[in-house]
Structure 1
Amino acid sequence: MIYLLAAVGAITVAVLLWKAFGPEQAPGQRDRRGPVAPDDDPDFLRKLDEQQRKPRSGNDDE
């Protein structure tokens, strides 16, 4: 039982040391967890708005 408590304590100390002295991110830099969804991408939304405002040319018989 004492070995189990010692292992848990050692793991806890290791995690705390990793958080304190591990690799750091620059301030303002966020984790990139994947691609940005189109509805969250300002460039995509701007282009979509421009396309909708642009007059359509061609034959719209629908």
Structure 2
Amino acid sequence: MVFLVVLVIAVAVVVLVMRAAAAPGGPGGGLRAPRPPRSPRPQRPTRPLAPDDDPEFLRELDRRTKRDDGSPA
């Protein structure tokens, strides 16, 4: 019987605390002020992610694979 009374009191305390936290005004309760909008991040310069995405690398590779007479190695 005592356990039941303690259980009911515990549930009532939890309900009251939840209501107090949700109530507008008062300490720590209610709605928070809206966040200011984020400023956009500055764009970093795009660069090739892999050697085969780099046009300069591809040109150098093509130049190396060709002989002076223009035929592929």
For the aligned pair, the TM-score class normalised by the smaller chain equals 0.3 to 0.5
TM-score between the two structures when normalised by the length of structure 2: 0.32
Q: Higher helix fraction: Structure 1 or Structure 2?
A: 1
Larger radius of gyration: 2
TM-score between the two structures when normalised by the length of structure 1: 0.37
